[in-house]
Amino acid sequence: MTPSEDRKIREKFKQKTWNEIKTNDSWAIFKIMAEFVDGFERLGKIGPCVSIFGSARTKPDHDSYKLAENIAFELTQNGYGIVTGGGPGIMEAGNKGAHRGNGTSVGLNIELPFEQHDNPYIDPDKSLDFDYFFVRKVMFIKYSQGFIVMPGGFGTLDELFEAITLIQTKKIGKFPIVLVGRKFWSGLMEWIRTTLIEEGNISPHDLELISIVDTEQEVLEVIDTFYKKYSLSPNF
């Protein structure tokens, strides 16, 4: 543990003074509101988009990077824009594919102590920076018509399970959630089936919220099939 991490833990147990509460906590409310207002105003005009999630550590020569780029490209050719976390790795691949397809390319970047920096394939007027993860996640949920989830780490899982939870609890309307890479996701799905379902913590039909595929064509089929049921197309 670094001295900085140790200090943050100790500060959690420290009683705040009246002045600290008024100045620090109250001021944070205005910063949070500003991020919501900016996000709503700028993203409300982007049109139908699909979000692509995955590891920031994936290198350009990795198969997942190339696949994410191709998925994004194909989606733009079918009328969808692309939203990513704006950073490197899979996020960069998604924006790169959208850029190659002359489609809308949105980046919702977050300030982090490592890994994160804006990638060069985001449309200049559609690059947003956030300090708060929860505000950023609201933007993904509110302005996406589908989630494409590539192999990733804790951040990817966080975004995946938040979307599933909100749909499962009917806090938001259903939209397609597509896991890409059967080999990568098979262990997680097996644990969900043999542990969560068998323990009665979720219902078997909850798995209907998720599709698992391997190719860009399968991704397109899932997205198109979902919206055709509602007589909707990307220009809705």
For 115-139, write each residue's pLDDT tens digit.
567 899 999 999 999 999 999 999 9
For 158-173, write each residue's pLDDT tens digit.
999 999 999 999 999 9
Q: pLDDT truncated to tens, each residue of the chain (236 aa)? A: 666 666 666 666 666 665 565 566 778 889 999 999 999 999 999 999 999 999 999 999 999 999 999 999 999 999 999 999 999 999 999 999 999 999 999 999 998 776 567 899 999 999 999 999 999 999 999 999 999 999 999 999 999 999 999 999 999 999 999 999 999 999 999 999 999 999 999 999 999 999 999 999 999 999 999 998 766 566 44
Give me the number of domains the chain comprises. 1
Q: Among residues 14, 143, 117, which one has the least CA distance to residue 57?
A: 117
Residue 3 lies in a domain: no
Residue 233 lies in a domain: no
CA pair distance 13, 189, nearest whole angstrom: 38
Residue 8 lies in a domain: no
Residue labelled with tokens 């020569």: 61
CATH code of the domain containing 117: 3.40.50.450
Q: Which residues pair with 60 in a beta bridge?
A: none
Half-sphere exposure of residue 6: CA atoms within 13 angstroms, side-chain side: 3
Residue 236 lies in a domain: no
164 and 103 Cβ atoms separated by less than 8 Å = no
CA pair distance 117, 120, nearest whole angstrom: 10
CA pair distance 13, 115, nearest whole angstrom: 29
Residue 114 lies in a domain: yes
Domain that holds residue 155: 16-228
Reported as type and span, the H/E element at residue 216 is helix 216-228
CA pair distance 221, 181, nearest whole angstrom: 15
